[in-house]
Amino acid sequence: MPELTPDQHAVLREHATERPFSSPLNDEKRAGAFHCAGCGAVVYKSDTKYNSGSGWPSFWAPVEGAVGVTRDTSAGMVRTEVHCAACEGHLGHVFPDGPRPTGQRHCINGLALAFEPEE
């Protein structure tokens, strides 16, 4: 597994959330793949990324089978947590207010991702 920075460890292993608009991946527009920073598994592709205005990298769908979801009540509300299916690292949350075709907004911490551009 890749060595994590303290901030990545806090997000992936302790379920922290990075500050909104703090990730350079929020503005990433190149074609490529977004990998889990915890294990390297491909979790999202650039063709599903969009600007949600939320301050975090957002996607309307993950790579099939790449993420799992769990019920999260940690913030005094019910949310759906998204985690890497391979290493179970916390990626972010999914909300039902995204664009077509899925209507989902996977609101993902940039610290939980590593971007690899297409060649």
Q: Please give the positions annotated as active site.
A: 107
Measure the CA–CA gap between 14 and 34, rounded to whole angstroms: 21
Strand partners, 113: 36
Measure the CA–CA gap between 69 and 107, rounded to whole angstroms: 13
Measure the CA–CA gap between 77 and 42, rounded to whole angstroms: 29
Q: What length is written for the chain?
A: 119
